[in-house]
Amino acid sequence: MYWTLELARYLEDAPWPAAKDELIDFAMRTGSPLEVVENLQAIEDEGEIYDTIEEIWVIGRELEWIVVDLLRHLKTELLLEHLILLHDLRT
């Protein structure tokens, strides 16, 4: 899930506050790009009501940060494994 300012603008006139399903319905009725609908569908919620796009945007950014952190961690681990292998090959 990713949000850009351009995608978020499609929800400016949404009926805030709104539930996830209401936002999906609004996005589909108003002809929002598929990315907007997919981003809304990707939100894992438990019947929450969102007051603004910023609340949804934050959810997306938090998930993005988690993925970035995981990728950094994996890259670090792979780098360490390669360095260990190189060291073992040299000795």
Cis peptide before 15 (omega within 30 of 0): no
**H/E run at residue 19:** strand 18-19
- Domain interval for residue 54: 5-90
Which residues have a Cβ under 8 Å from the Cβ of 83 and sit 6 or more positions away? Answer: none
On the question of pLDDT at 53 being above 80, the answer is yes
pLDDT at 91 over 60: yes
Residue 8 or 72, more confident: 8
User: What number is the average pLDDT over the span 36-48?
Assistant: 88
Average pLDDT over residues 22-39: 95
Bond preceding residue 17 cis, omega within 30 of 0: yes
Q: Count of domains in the chain?
A: 1
Q: Look up the pTM and report it.
A: 0.63
Confidence (pLDDT) at 83 = 67
Instruction: Enter the DSSP assignment of 12.
Output: T
CB-CB contact of 43 with 2 (8 Å): no
Say yes or no to pLDDT of 43 above 70: yes
